[in-house]
Every structure is written in C-alpha cells, then in structure tokens.
C-alpha cells in the first residue's frame, strides 16, 4: 500500500470504534496526569460524582438531579478530550499498521564468501540477514534488506515505499546506491550489502516515527502547557476563595444561599481553558499525520514545529536542484558542418556509452535527425556511414560492423570505428591532442563555442572524425522543472534559499541563476557546509537543509530541520530528522506549510478557548450568586431561564465545543502566506471574535432546548 492511500476521512468508521474504546481507557489516572488542565476536570468529575451520591443520601448541598447532571457532563468533557486525542493517535496508528504490511519475510540469495570471486549462493530468510551480509537480487525478486548496492545496476520498483509507480535506477557508487527492503527489482541485477540488522530497517524506523502517541512534546507545546497550567491554578485559587466569600456574604446579609460545591466545580471547569487543553495533544499528533500524508516521515513533532519557523534553506545541487546527471542539450557544429552531421557522428560515438551522458547524446541525436531531414555534403555521406546506418540511427539500432573504443581515464575520450571511419568524442584538450596527432587542428570557432558552453555552467564535449573536428556537444546539469517557481514561493514565505555544490564558482553561478536561488556556496566541502549552517544559527536563525549524499550527512545532522531524500544514501537518511519518500527537493515547502499550519492551529484554538470563557462568566456567575446578590442579575444578558439552566447550559456547551472543534484540530487551520501582524489580526478577528460570540448563541440555544424538554 502506498502512503498516498493512507489518508483516512476524519471520522472513518474503522477509526471511531477504537477511538471510543481508547477514550475510556485513557480515564486511568496515569494517562490523565499527562494533561494538567484536563486532570483538574478529571478530579472535579470524581468529586462531583461523590457529591451526587451524597445528595442521593440526603447529605448534599444541592439538588441531586442538578449535581448528577453536572457530574455527567463533566465526565463527558473528559471523555470528549480523550476522544480527540485517541482519534488523532488512531490515524497515526492506521498509517503505522499499513506500513507494517510492507514488512515481509522473503528468501535471500546470500553470498557465502562475499570477497571471493565465484562464491556460492545460500538461500536464507531475510530475517536471518545481519549487517554486513551480501546478497544478490535479480529481476523479479524482492530486495530482502536495507542496504547499499556494491555491484551492478538495476531498475527498482519503490512504489510500496513512495507511492510512485515510476521505477528508479539504483547502482553501485554515488548517491543512488541505497536500497530499501521490500522494494522489487524490475530488471537486471544488483549485489547488495546489508547496512542494518532486523528490527532496525527503514520500514521499522518509519513505523516508530509515525506512532504519534509516542511523540515528545515540542518546546512551543510545553510553553503553552505551562501557560494553561498557570491559568488553571489562578482560576482554581479564585474558585476556592469563592466558598468562604459566599459564607461571609450570607452571614453579613442575613439572607441568600451559600454557593454549593457542584456549582463551584461547574464554575471552575468553565473558567479554565478546557477547550484548548482538551485539543492540544490532538493538534500535535495530527500535525505529524498530515506530514505523513505528504509522504514525509518525521522523527518527532519538534522537527515539524521547527519547520514552521525556518529562516534559511540550504539545498544540495546535485540530485536535489538538478537531476544529477549531465544531459546533452545542444549540438554546436563547426563551420561547414551541419547540425545533423554532428548529431549523427555524436550518436555513433555514443552508442556503446552506457553512462547517462552517453544515453542522453543518443536520445538527442535521434530527436535531432527526426526533426530535420538528413542532409549530407559528402563529408558524412550515407555510403561512408555504411549501408543501413541512417536507418539504424532512426530506429536506435547498432550500425553493422562497428568497433567501439571505450572511454578511459588516460585518453579522456571514447568513440567508434565503422565503415573505415574513426569518430571520437571527449574533453576539449583530449580531442585537440587527438586531432593534432593526425595533422588536424581545433578551430578558433570550436574553441570559442566550448568556452561559451563552460561559461554557462555546462560541460563541452568535442566530436571529431579523424583529423577533422566536427563541433561541440553541450552537456548540461539539468535543473528540475518548476523549481524556480517553488523557490519564489519560499522567498514570499520569508525563507532564504542557498544552493551548496562542489562545482566551481562559474558553474555554480550559472545553475544558481537558472534555479532562482538567493545565494550559493561553490566548491563546498562537508566542512564548509557545516560552517555555513553554524554561522546562520549563531545569528539566531533556524536552518533547514535538504540533501541526499553521504557528504551531506554532517550538515544534515547540524541543521534544525534536515530533510533527506529517500533516494539518497543511508548516511544521509540516518543524519536527517525527516525523510522525503518522494525525493522531491522542494518538499520542504510543504513541510514548512504543515509546520506553520500546526502553529497557527494551536494559536487559533488557544485564542478561541480564552475568548469563549467570557460568555460562561455571564452564564454561571449570575446563576451562582443571584440569590445572595440580586444585583448580579444584570449580568444575565442572555436571559437564561433559571440558575440551574444557566449552570447546565454552560457546562454542556463547554463539553460539546470540544467535539465540534475536533475536525479543525485534526485538519488544521488553512495556511496562508501572511506576515505575523496580519496573522495576529486575522486570528483575533476570526477566532477571537468568533470565540466571544459563539458561546452566547450556543449557551442560549442549549438553555431553550433544556426548557423545551422540561429538564430544568
């Protein structure tokens, strides 16, 4: 099952039933202690239940039906808060359960002696593999363990992990050698060295990461919990002092009634911030679930929250901003040579070149010769190419009688001998020496074209036939499509983008300009990347980084938010605190939005919770003291039917509003790229004013229903 199919409706039936049961299980005192605000409500519910029993025995200070009703709705308040948290945890557990389905015991072809040529293969279960074991995986087989490809190249189906149907190439060496257990080899074969032991695989870590119930609270959440606890203590002290104050007032006035304990408990619960207290944990768990729905695995909510405050984003160029493989982008022929002639020669010289660069030259040559009718001036005539060569070019077939010259580090060129012709392609200085050796020369026009290609940050390859130089092939490190627009979005969000690369400054500047980043670091070493991150952090800025290579690991470990590409190396994935299953370099935009959304949701619901307490004051305070101080009847602006109705209406609204806000807590407040001032004004207008007005309407409506049903 792919992660993109793990997103369940907010109130899916398979989540509701376990959540309801968990709501009851969470009534254990140890669970309630985790939330100080709701723990106070929990204690109040138990005390009110005791008072109800005493009232039934004729020893209560309030009517039994009123005390019992208050007790029931206080328990509902606790249960509804438990339900919100259990529902959020249930979504994470459902995601973890679907991930567990990816773990499967498979048979592995283990090399008995990995370092010996011709070593025998032994069939073992994947659960018996240990770190350092070497296995062979062929087409159609499931990769039995997490590891690194040490030999071979293969097309791998990673849809079970990423949700993407397009296969990826995994090969030995470089930044694309990491493979994940449970994925399937589609073609060719690879030799894999296991990098983890059973129980420590990527899937196992993913399952642990998405278990939202086990997450640690973020600093922001801890600070808010302390604030809510402080408010709770303040209102607790206020409520406790009201009883002796009420006794003194009755004795002094000689009339009225002493406020009862059930009424005080109702007042306390309605005064303290129960709404945000009941939803706070659910907001944090839901934030991680939304991140998982975006195909990003986070180690904790801390990283998600930090993403909401990121100031600087560092991106590795190769494989992140660019595709990572240089690709042929243009043919620049020498004077007197047509583009098709250069394309045909470059195609012939690249047929045996299995590198991504060679394959891209073949593809570009085929596109070039199909788009424009072949034209020959005697230099590269069909008879010289050999019978059937043009047809082979158009059909992508190997020409008859070809003898290929492989690339070597010493010659720095490769080519083909076919039909009496010698065609070579290679670095500028290598082809210059080759042409001069045969009595030719590299013309100034070709030198100029090669220099222009280099100035654009691309790599020039020169093609020659014998002593005659035919032109230049431009190899370009292609920037991923749409990335410039995504960086513009980051800029609007106030995030500075910095590209880091090992390329020279000329190449780095060209790629940076094309990608639209704000700054770049050229000729970067792991030490340089680490120093840059520390410099930004020393200025009080939060730094995020995406990368995929082993040399990115130190910087990823230092960054506040570190997103590793799933296609990257094991070292990068282990150093990061997030893993992007889609390997999209701009996924951090979604991560930032989810982080900001979590902060906004928490702020919005806190504003709402504090604002809606105002209406409860107007409901309960007149009801509690009306008999002693009739003047307080002026505060009964809602014209509630009776003190008992006012108490019950406020307590019932206090419980129901938690249920009503669960969808908002789980889905989150919609993110808008606004400044802090604009967001504050919007929160105060929507959630502050809304939180102030809605309870007046809700409490009055409940009062009318209670009266209509004859319950008060």
The residue length of the chain stands at: 712
392 pLDDT tier (thresholds 50, 70, 90): very low
408 is in an annotated binding site: yes
Lowest mean pLDDT among 43-47, 503-507, 642-646: 503-507
Query: Could you give the C-alpha distances from 458 to 349, 447, 453, 473, in angstroms and in order?
Result: 20, 14, 5, 10
373 pLDDT tier (thresholds 50, 70, 90): very low
537 is in an annotated binding site: no
102 pLDDT tier (thresholds 50, 70, 90): low
Given a cut of 60, whether residue 245 has pLDDT beyond it is yes
Query: Could you give the C-alpha distances from 80 to 77, 100, 690, in angstroms and in order?
Result: 5, 30, 21
Looking only at Cα atoms, what is the longest distance across the chain? Answer: 124
Q: How many CA atoms lie within 13 A of 632 on its CB side?
A: 15
Q: What is the DSSP letter of 675?
A: -
Tokens linked to 347 = 């195609």
Residue 58 burial (10 A CB sphere; 0-12, 13-18, 19+):
exposed
* pLDDT tens for each residue of 450-491: 888 887 767 888 999 988 999 999 988 778 788 888 888 788
Contact at 8 Å (CB) between 183 and 143? Answer: yes
Neighbours of 465 (CB within 10 A): 23
Please choose, from the candidates 423, 427, 430, the residue with its C-alpha nearest in 3D space to the C-alpha of residue 470: 423
- Which helix (H) or strand (E) is 417 found in, with range? strand 413-418
Q: What does the pLDDT read at residue 472?
A: 93
Q: What does the pLDDT read at residue 519?
A: 92
Given a cut of 80, whether residue 433 has pLDDT beyond it is yes
Q: What does the pLDDT read at residue 387?
A: 37
Phi-psi region of 109 (alpha: psi -120 to 50; beta: other; left: phi over 0): beta
Lowest mean pLDDT among 223-227, 580-584, 683-687: 580-584
Query: What rounded mean pLDDT belongs to the chain?
Result: 78
Contact at 8 Å (CB) between 690 and 311? Answer: no
Query: Higher model confidence: residue 516 or residue 589?
Result: 516
Given a cut of 50, whether residue 390 has pLDDT beyond it is no
Given a cut of 50, whether residue 440 has pLDDT beyond it is yes
Q: What does the pLDDT read at residue 61?
A: 77
For 369-397, what is the mean pLDDT? Answer: 42
274 is in an annotated binding site: no
For 684-705, what is the mean pLDDT? Answer: 88
Given a cut of 60, whether residue 378 has pLDDT beyond it is no
Q: If you search the block for the tokens 């991930």, which residue do you land on?
A: 99
Contact at 8 Å (CB) between 296 and 580? Answer: yes
> What share of the chain in percent tops pLDDT 70?
79
d(CA 291, CA 189): 34
Which residue ranges form the domains of the chain, and what is each CATH number?
Answer: 129-197 (2.70.150.10), 305-321+480-576 (3.40.50.1000), 326-371+390-476 (3.40.1110.10)
Catalytic residue flag (residue 429)? no
437 is in an annotated binding site: no
677 is in an annotated binding site: no
CA 267 to chain centre: 43
46 pLDDT tier (thresholds 50, 70, 90): very high
Q: What does the pLDDT read at residue 702?
A: 92
596 is in an annotated binding site: no
Query: Could you give the C-alpha distances from 697 to 77, 500, 691, in angstroms and in order?
Result: 20, 56, 11
CA 232 to chain centre: 35
Cβ neighbours of residue 432 closer than 8 Å, sequence gap 6 or more:
442, 462
Please choose, from the candidates 529, 92, 61, the residue with its C-alpha nearest in 3D space to the C-alpha of residue 288: 92
Q: What does the pLDDT read at residue 161?
A: 59
Query: Could you give the C-alpha distances from 153 to 121, 170, 186, 196, 409, in angstroms and in order?
Result: 19, 6, 11, 21, 21
353 is in an annotated binding site: yes
For 395-406, what is the mean pLDDT? Answer: 67
552 is in an annotated binding site: yes
What SS3 state is found at 296?
Answer: strand
Contact at 8 Å (CB) between 499 and 321? Answer: yes
Strands 296-298, 578-580: pairing is antiparallel
Contact at 8 Å (CB) between 326 and 358? Answer: no
d(CA 450, CA 452): 5
For 277-284, what is the mean pLDDT? Answer: 81
197 pLDDT tier (thresholds 50, 70, 90): confident
What are the strands of the beta sheet with 468-479, ordered from one edge? 322-333, 468-479, 459-465, 421-426, 413-418, 403-405
411 is in an annotated binding site: yes
Given a cut of 70, whether residue 203 has pLDDT beyond it is no
409 is in an annotated binding site: yes
> What share of the chain in percent tops pLDDT 90?
11
Q: What does the pLDDT read at residue 12?
A: 65
Strands 421-426, 459-465: pairing is antiparallel
Q: What does the pLDDT read at residue 391?
A: 47
Q: What does the pLDDT read at residue 380?
A: 36
410 is in an annotated binding site: yes
d(CA 342, CA 330): 11
Q: What does the pLDDT read at residue 213?
A: 39
Contact at 8 Å (CB) between 320 and 570? Answer: no
Strands 578-580, 561-565: pairing is parallel
d(CA 562, CA 564): 6
Q: Given the residues 22, 175, 204, 316, select the one marked as catalytic.
A: 316
Q: What does the pLDDT read at residue 47?
A: 93
- Which helix (H) or strand (E) is 149 found in, with range? strand 147-157
Q: What does the pLDDT read at residue 50?
A: 93
Angle at which helices 689-708 and 613-625 pack, to 10 degrees? 40
Q: What does the pLDDT read at residue 652?
A: 92
* pLDDT tens for each residue of 124-165: 887 788 888 888 998 888 888 888 888 888 888 776 555 454
Q: If you search the block for the tokens 């204690």, which residue do you land on?
A: 43
d(CA 392, CA 369): 12
For 494-508, what is the mean pLDDT? Answer: 81
Please choose, from the candidates 195, 191, 197, 202, the residue with its C-alpha nearest in 3D space to the C-alpha of residue 135: 191
């Amino acid at each position: 099952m792919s992660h993109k199919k793990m997103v369940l409706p907010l109130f899916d039936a398979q989540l509701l039933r376990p959540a309801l049961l968990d709501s009851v299980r969470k009534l254990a005192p140890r669970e309630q202690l985790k939330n100080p605000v709701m723990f106070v409500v929990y204690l109040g519910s138990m005390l009110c239940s005791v008072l109800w029993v005493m009232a039934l025995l004729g020893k209560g200070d309030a009517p039994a039906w009123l005390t019992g009703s208050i007790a029931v709705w206080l328990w509902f308040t606790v249960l509804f808060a438990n339900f919100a948290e259990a529902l959020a945890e249930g979504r994470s557990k459902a995601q973890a359960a679907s991930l567990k389905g990816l773990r499967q015991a498979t048979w592995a072809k283990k090399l008995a002696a990995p370092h010996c040529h011709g070593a025998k293969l032994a069939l073992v279960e994947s659960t018996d593999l240990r770190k350092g074991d070497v296995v062979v995986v062929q087409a159609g087989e499931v990769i039995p363990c997490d590891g690194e490809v040490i030999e071979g190249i293969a097309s791998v189906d990673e849809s079970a992990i990423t949700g993407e149907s397009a296969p990826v190439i995994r090969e030995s060496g470089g930044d694309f050698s990491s493979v994940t257990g449970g994925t399937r080899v589609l073609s060719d074969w690879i030799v894999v060295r296991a990098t983890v032991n059973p129980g420590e695989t990527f899937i196992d870590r993913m399952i642990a990461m998405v278990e939202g119930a086990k997450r640690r609270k973020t600093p922001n959440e801890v600070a808010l919990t302390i604030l809510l606890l402080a408010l709770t203590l303040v209102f607790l002290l206020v409520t406790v002092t009201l009883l002796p104050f009420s006794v003194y007032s009755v004795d002094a006035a000689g009339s009225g009634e002493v406020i009862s304990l059930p009424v005080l408990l109702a007042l306390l619960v309605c005064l303290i911030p129960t709404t945000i207290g009941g939803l706070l944990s659910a907001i944090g768990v839901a934030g991680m679930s939304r991140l998982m729905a975006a195909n990003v695995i986070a180690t904790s909510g801390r990283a998600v929250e930090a993403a909401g405050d990121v100031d600087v984003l560092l991106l590795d160029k190769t494989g992140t901003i660019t595709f990572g493989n240089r690709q042929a982008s243009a043919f620049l022929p020498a004077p007197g040579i047509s583009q098709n002639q250069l394309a045909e020669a470059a195609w012939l010289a690249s047929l045996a070149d299995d590198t991504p660069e060679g394959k891209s030259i073949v593809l570009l040559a085929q596109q070039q010769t199909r788009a424009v009718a072949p034209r020959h001036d005697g230099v590269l005539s069909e008879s010289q190419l050999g019978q059937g060569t043009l047809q082979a070019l158009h059909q992508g077939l190997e020409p008859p009688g070809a003898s290929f010259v492989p690339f070597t580090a010493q010659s720095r060129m490769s080519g083909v001998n076919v039909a009496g012709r010698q065609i070579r392609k290679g670095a500028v200085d290598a082809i210059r020496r080759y042409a001069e050796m045969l009595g030719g020369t590299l013309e100034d026009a070709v030198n100029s074209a090669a220099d222009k290609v280099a100035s654009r940050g691309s790599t020039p390859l020169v093609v020659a036939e014998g002593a005659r130089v035919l032109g230049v092939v431009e190899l370009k490190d292609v920037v991923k499509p749409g990335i410039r627009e995504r960086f513009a979005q980051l800029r609007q969000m106030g995030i500075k983008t910095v590209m880091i690369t090992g390329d020279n400054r000329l190449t780095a500047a060209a790629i940076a300009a094309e990608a639209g980043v704000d700054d770049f670091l050229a000729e970067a070493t792991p030490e340089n990347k680490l120093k840059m991150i520390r410099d930004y952090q020393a200025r009080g800025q939060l730094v995020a980084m995406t990368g995929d290579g082993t040399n990115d690991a130190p910087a990823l470990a230092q960054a506040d938010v570190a997103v590793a590409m799933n296609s990257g190396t094991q070292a990068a994935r282990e150093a990061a605190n997030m893993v992007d299953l889609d390997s999209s370099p701009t996924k951090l935009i979604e991560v930032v939005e989810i982080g900001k959304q979590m902060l906004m949701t928490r702020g919005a619901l806190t504003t709402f919770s504090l604002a809606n307490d105002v209406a409860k004051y107007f409901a309960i305070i007149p009801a509690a003291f009306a008999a002693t101080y009739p003047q307080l009847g002026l505060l009964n602006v809602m014209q509630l039917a009776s003190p008992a109705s006012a108490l019950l209406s406020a307590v019932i609204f206090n419980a129901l509003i938690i249920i009503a806000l669960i969808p908002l807590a789980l889905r989150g407040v919609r993110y808008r790229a606004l400044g802090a001032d604009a967001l504050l004004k919007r929160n105060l207008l929507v959630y502050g004013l809304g939180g102030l007005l809605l309870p007046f309407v809700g409490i009055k409506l409940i009062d009318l229903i209670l009266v209509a049903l004859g319950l008060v």
